[in-house]
Structure 1
């Protein structure tokens, strides 16, 4: 080993100390950054959770106040039937539309059930057109005969084990709705938007779909599809069995497809006397 190599070996311990002394602050700095980021993330999660609890508390307060106010109003309207009085219905409509804007879908469901049990959304009494009921699920069993909610926004609705005889959803937007193991009998969905709606296990009989949008609607697994009015409706891409399309089951109760766009893109027979809901007003 020559003199030059000896000098290099003698210098190595010094370089090691320099490297180690440099690495230690770097490692500490990295751990400090990681710890700080973790603390910030934890703090954000805690803040988000606290905010959610505050928001949920506010929603519950709004819901409770609404139910109490309307219940009291219904019982204390001396000499006036609030279910039929126009001034009372306007007051309830305003309160209802206001509270629905603040509630989550679960509490919106209970608002709907409360109004139904109070007799306010049966037989075209309380006008809730424009109400946001998107994603609200009614998972029964529920008997909701004469449920009247025309003109509402109820996309992604779910009805499970619901009896909806004589229900009215005219002009409502109900795309991607699911009617599962339910009964839709003698109901009216005139000019409603029901694209991609599913009717699995549901009895659909004597329903008025005049002018409705039923693009890609799925009737394949429906229990019964008979006596339906599809006049002027758009059924492009809708799914039927041959028996369903012809209204066949034990007996035959034919469906009406006058002037409708059929699943294959062709049109049903044109009747010049057919008018839309708008024209009938």
Structure 2
């Protein structure tokens, strides 16, 4: 065997070892990523399950309060205080998708409206991010007599909604979209806006 051939064989052997090393490393990396993805998926499932349980428990609690207070969470000070505390607590624990379900539940139960003789449930200081109020609107198009005073809204959308006699006094809006909305007698007194889109919005 000539020296050139031996060198060639050595180079081929070295090249093969490098290829084997790369394949082994890539295989290890793949094996490491696979359980990580599985663990992440399991954690997300557990989080979703926990949030669903919180949502159901909250609605059941509020239903009981409504039944015991003749359909009004603000009929007396104790009930109003308990309802406010429970609501603000669950808002902090849930995501945007579930928080808007709570808003819709309270709105449809007429606890976020100022009609008849009942006042709206006080949600001031509540902080909402990435809320799409079309999910709370009737047929995703109408919001009437909704009262959300003194809350914080970040990256919220009211796009295309017909809004009438709504109260957002003292609310702080950060990146809010009212594109193509129709606003009739909406109270924005003492409200602050940072990056608000009112393009093609009709105001009466």
- Quick check: TM above 0.5? yes
- Equivalent residue, structure 1, for 2:23: 31
TM-score, normalising length: structure 1: 0.64
CA contact (8 A) 2:72 2:111 kept: no
Runs (4+) off by over 4 Å: none
Q: Which runs of 5+ in 2 are unaligned?
A: none
Are the structure 2 counterparts of residues 86 and 143 from structure 1 closer, same or farther at C-alpha, using a change threshold of 3 Å? Answer: farther
Q: Which runs of 5+ in 1 are unaligned?
A: 1-8, 206-281
Displacement, 1:152?
0.7
1:110 maps to which of 101, 105, 109:
101
Are the structure 2 counterparts of residues 98 and 179 from structure 1 closer, same or farther at C-alpha, using a change threshold of 3 Å? Answer: same
- Equivalent residue, structure 2, for 1:175: 174
Q: Secondary structure at the match of 1:197?
A: strand
Q: Secondary structure at the match of 1:195?
A: strand
- Equivalent residue, structure 2, for 1:272: none
Q: How does 1:115-154 map to 2 (within 5 A)?
A: 115-123=106-114, 124-139=119-134, 140=137, 141-154=140-153
Displacement, 1:177?
0.9
Displacement, 1:132?
1.5
Whole-Å separation in 2 of the counterparts to 1:51 and 1:32: 29
Specify which structure has the higher proportion of helix: 2
Q: How does 1:45-124 map to 2 (within 5 A)?
A: 45-77=37-69, 81-123=72-114, 124=119
- Equivalent residue, structure 1, for 2:35: 43
Displacement, 1:80?
8.4
Whole-Å separation in 1 of the counterparts to 2:12 and 2:67: 82
Bigger Rg over Cα:
1
Displacement, 1:113?
0.9
Whole-Å separation in 2 of the counterparts to 1:198 and 1:150: 20
Q: Secondary structure at the match of 1:63?
A: helix
Are the structure 2 counterparts of residues 15 and 101 from structure 1 closer, same or farther at C-alpha, using a change threshold of 3 Å? Answer: same
What's the RMSD between the two structures over aligned residues?
Answer: 2.0
TM-score, normalising length: structure 2: 0.86
Deviation larger for 124-133 or 58-67: 124-133
Whole-Å separation in 2 of the counterparts to 1:189 and 1:48: 43
Whole-Å separation in 1 of the counterparts to 2:100 and 2:109: 14
Displacement, 1:104?
1.3
Specify which structure has the higher proportion of strand: 2
Q: May I ask how many residue pairs the two structures share in their alignment?
A: 196
Q: 1 or 2 for the larger relative contact order (CA 8 Å, sep ≥6)?
A: 2
Displacement, 1:142?
4.2
